[in-house]
Chains A and B, each alone.
Chain A
Amino acid sequence: MRTAFFIKLFTAILISHYGNILAAADAEGILNRMGDVLFACEDQKSVVVIILADRDGNQRRREAQVWQKGTDKHLFRFTAPASEAGIALLSLPDDILYLYMPAYGRERRIASHMKSQSFAGTDLSYEDLEIHKYTEDFSAKLIETTLSHYVLELTPEQGVRSDYSRIVAYVNTDHYYPEIMKTYDRRGQEYKVIEYVFDNKDNYWFAREIHIANLKRDHSTQMIFQETEFDTGIPDEVFSIRNLTRN
């Protein structure tokens, strides 16, 4: 399943302040709680502005409309720049990914063993998009508790394929959403630093902004979510190939 991490984040529901009765919870409990926050809504749609920047400060800007339902159905349709308008990516359960390029007028399926590849030029890989897998495939260890954060160390379970040897997550103690994730590559070197700005709407916590610094590429990505709406009853038809190819 491919699940856009940022989609999950901005659809995160508000966890009541009473949630902190779990203050004494163990690491796995905190991780599960984070999952609950991130995947609280039924569906959501929004507009995302993606700003990419290289080491010299050169920037590229993209915009897309995003639809998401559950944890494993997503549709991205790019609207800007004009040369990329209409390009669409459809992510379905069981690692199925389709790409539609309007200039070619047909869809193409993209093979699945590309987890470490960049998603649409951003500093997020396809693996980063599957944040729900952290609760399934990673084991957690609470390494520190501060006034504002639970600091979790996530390591992939034996046999799990991951680009990361570990992830250090700073989870908000009040609302259980992640604020910073530091990822380390398989050689143990710091790889990406992902920072979130969470907001609350309709009792859901969601990431309003995500900033990813790729330390290896010396490149960064900023994602700004706008016009976010929750539980609007997006029909399944939206996540079909027919809809994908509708220009």
Chain B
Amino acid sequence: MNNFSERVIRFRYYIIAMVTAITIIMAYFLKDLEVNADVMSYLMEEDDSVRLFNQIGETFGGNEVVVVGVEGEDVFTSEMLEVVRQATDSILSVPGVGNVTSLTSTMDIRATQYGIEIGPLVDEFNMPNSREALDSLRSYVLSNNALRGKLVSEDLTASLLISRIVPDVNRVEVTEAIRRKVESIPFEGNFFYGGTPVTLMELNRIIVTDILAIGPVAFLLICLVLYAGFRNFRGVFLPMLTVIVATIWVMGLISLTGYKLTLLTNAIPIILLALGNDYAIHVINAVIVEQRVNPYKAMQRAVRYIAVPVILASATTILGFFSFVAGSRLIMIKEFAMFSIAGILFSLILTIVFLPAVMVVMKKKESSPAKTGENIFDKIPEWLLSVSCNHRHLLIISWTVIILAGIFGVTRITRNADVTGYFKEGSIITQGEKILSEKFYGSSPLYVTFRGDMQSPEVLNKISETQDYMQGFSYIPYSQSAADIIKQLNHVMGEGRVIPEEKEKISQLWFLLDGQDTMEQLVSYDRQEGIIHGFVTSKKLHVLREIESNFSAFVEEHSSEHCRMAVTGVPILLKHLDDNIVESQVYSLVFAIIFVIILTSLLMGSLKTGLLAVIPIVITLIALFGIMGITGVPIDVATVLAGGVTIGIGIDFSIHFISRYSEGRKLQLDERDSLVRTIRTSGKSILISMSSIITGVAMLVFSNLVPLQRLGILLAFTMLVAGMSTLTLMPLLLAGRNKMQGLLKQNNNTKTL
């Protein structure tokens, strides 16, 4: 390390030039950074349900549906029907919209006095205006299961327009265009929105606004914390400089490697803001401490001493994040972890190479020495040490109570994979979902696919049986399939609402339906594949479980040589998302703890020390899951990260504490003196670092995404617990009970340490 610190100082100008050059290059790539808010990309593509879901999108003209709702006093007035007609027309004019199903465009089959009618329900060239015509339409819709609750709410106050987005277009842009067009229609009532593309649109908007709004606020607040800690310009400027550079590098890397900003990678700048500072704070504090002892070659000594714990701390943090790469099956979490690791590595390199180089250059130019007066960050650790010494029993009881409360909370923990729950109350997503679930059949599609001859009575009857089974579940009030339409046509041909027994009849009915948009959504072009589109009203976990287990068993039991069946859809994908979240949580925690114990034991040269180091973290994890259980914060795609990130960051506190303590012991200081020295140096760093991390992650509370808000609050909580448990428990664990006694008496005599 001697040679390393000498070289850093000797080549400081080259280092600064190189970092500047890389930063300019990476900043250039930022312009290409794109956002991908696609929630389905959480799941691995090798998941059969995901594959089938995507395939349905390709075969049946898109699985992506934008739902636009028109809500007023009565749908069956000429004014509201005109709004529906105008909105249908406007949406159809948006490039990328394949078709729109609405009252003025939906296919209707009926027998009339003139014969068979197959065409739009409402003739848009001859809109019903008279009371009689409107009442007649109302009665017809109310008597038709395919329309009531699907296109018109049960209370007749709202109507839906269901648009399918064609494949290979930018769904977010198409959805934004749809919304602009619809909102420009003069209407005294209310428009509402639903469907995955709308969720993506909102996520995209929030990801961009979050990063632009929260970043600067977090930056300013952390600056204040740093100033409070160091009381000089360098103490603020240098950590923030390394963080900004690391953030530019990692964001540039995301763009350069062709990845996109997601709901989770969106949080990386905040994480880096918190973490990068942590490393820089320890380095700067070490330099200040060494300068107090002896200004000569203080930088070299500080770098020599601090490099190892900083490398060790970042290695453990990397392991914390690596636990997600190894333990998670969710692509988005893996990406988040990979780029967080890259960001941590960048922060580490910048902290031990770039930061000392800049400090040396600045030292020459800045004559004013660092203020050396004590502040709150000096006093609190010493106060905590006195608490540890004087109120040992109270301390142990307090932590025991926290642990017991945590264990109680763990038993009450819940999960949530419902993406619509990610939005705050009042957002267009929550508003739309509320109306859709209260007045309609919901916007959550369940698909059962059938591979076989769609003109065969056997296959169509199987579809019909499956629909009957589906509608036996109260939360699947409505489903749609080609079998419905064939039965309706057979009915208007005068042979009853049944599937014809002769294949010839079915073939000839198909002839009539050929070219209808609705048919293309239900049957493949070669008529060898068909789907049932069921509408599920609930996204509760027990419903998702029931759907998966019941329908998986049903399709397995009813598949035959001539008709192979499979099931997928949003409820199934949400269930898999939930399974993966739980799996990610369990494996990532197990991996993280094992990795950290192994690494700290190896680097500290003792398994006992490795185990000691993880004690505060284990307590913090119990507190984390306990508080989640007690307050009802569920494990979701963002909060699942809290455990691993807590281990990764929180273990740093233990490592810095133990390193400094061990160094003191190596310097022949006794246990008590080592402890006091540790509290005054590493204790202060831990406190500043904890405060800046809490300040940074707490900024996530201003996010417009509920899971990120929760993640921010949880991380702030765990950092507080990790910091406090390290500062209060580590003295007890390291020095032992007997050594602690009388420590306080000597405390005042060790100022020079």
* Residues of A bordering B, CB below 8 Å: 54, 56, 58, 60, 78, 83-84, 87, 98-99, 101-104, 106, 108-114, 116-123, 161, 185-189, 216, 218
Contact = CB atoms under 8 A, between A and B. Distances in A.
B512 A103 contact: no
Contacts, number: 93
A137 to B, nearest CB: 13
B118 A110 contact: yes
Given A54-B525, A113-B123, A187-B89, A104 B115 contact: no
Nearest to B94: A187
Interface of B: 89, 92-93, 95, 98, 112, 114-120, 123, 125-126, 166, 455, 492-495, 500, 502-505, 507-509, 511-512, 514-516, 525-526
**A102, A104, A119, A216 — which one has the most chain B CB atoms within 10 A of its CB?**
A104
A114 B117 contact: yes
A102 B116 CA distance: 16
Contact of B511 (A120, A189, A218): A120
Nearest to A100: B508
Given A84-B507, A117-B118, A161-B125, 15 more contacts: A58-B525, A58-B526, A87-B511, A101-B493, A104-B493, A111-B112, A113-B120, A114-B117, A117-B119, A117-B515, A117-B516, A119-B515, A123-B515, A185-B92, A187-B93
Nearest to A101: B508
A113 B119 contact: yes
8 contacts: A60-B525, A83-B455, A99-B512, A102-B504, A104-B505, A108-B493, A110-B115, A218-B166
A113 B126 contact: yes
Contacts of A78: 511
Contacts of A189: 93, 95
Contacts of A113: 117, 119-120, 123, 125-126
Nearest to B112: A111
Given A58-B525, A101-B493, A114 B503 contact: no
A164 B669 CA distance: 92
Given A111-B119, A161-B125, A118 B526 contact: no
A235 B147 CA distance: 46
Contact of A109 (B114, B118, B505, B514): B114
B451 to A, nearest CB: 16
A137 B120 CA distance: 23
B89 A114 contact: no
A116 B504 CA distance: 27
B683 to A, nearest CB: 67
B693 to A, nearest CB: 52
A114 B455 contact: no
A110 B116 contact: yes
A228 B120 CA distance: 36
Contacts of A187: 89, 92-93
A110 B492 CA distance: 11
A87 B118 contact: no
Contact of A83 (B92, B114, B504): B504
Contacts of B125: 113, 161
Among all A-B residue pairs, the 4 with the closest Cβ atoms: A118-B515, A121-B514, A109-B115, A83-B507
A161 B123 CA distance: 11
A185 B89 CA distance: 10
Given A99-B512, A118-B516, A108 B115 contact: yes
B507 A112 contact: no
A224 B518 CA distance: 28
A117 B108 CA distance: 12
A101 B494 CA distance: 13
Contacts of A99: 116, 512
A1 B216 CA distance: 70
A84 B455 CA distance: 12
Contacts of B118: 110, 114, 117
B514 A83 contact: no
B324 to A, nearest CB: 39
A26 B112 CA distance: 45
Nearest to A218: B166
Given A103-B504, A108-B115, A84 B89 contact: no
A114 B119 contact: yes
A111 B92 contact: no
B117 A111 contact: yes
A119 B495 CA distance: 24
A87 B512 CA distance: 10
A185 B505 CA distance: 35
A111 B508 contact: no
B119 A83 contact: no
B709 to A, nearest CB: 41
**B116, B123, B500, B515 — which one has the most chain A CB atoms within 10 A of its CB?**
B515
Contacts of A60: 525
Contacts of B500: 103
B508 A87 contact: yes
Contacts of B509: 101
A26 to B, nearest CB: 30
Given A58-B525, A83-B455, A187-B92, A111 B505 contact: no
A112 B120 CA distance: 12
Nearest to B116: A108
A60 B95 CA distance: 27
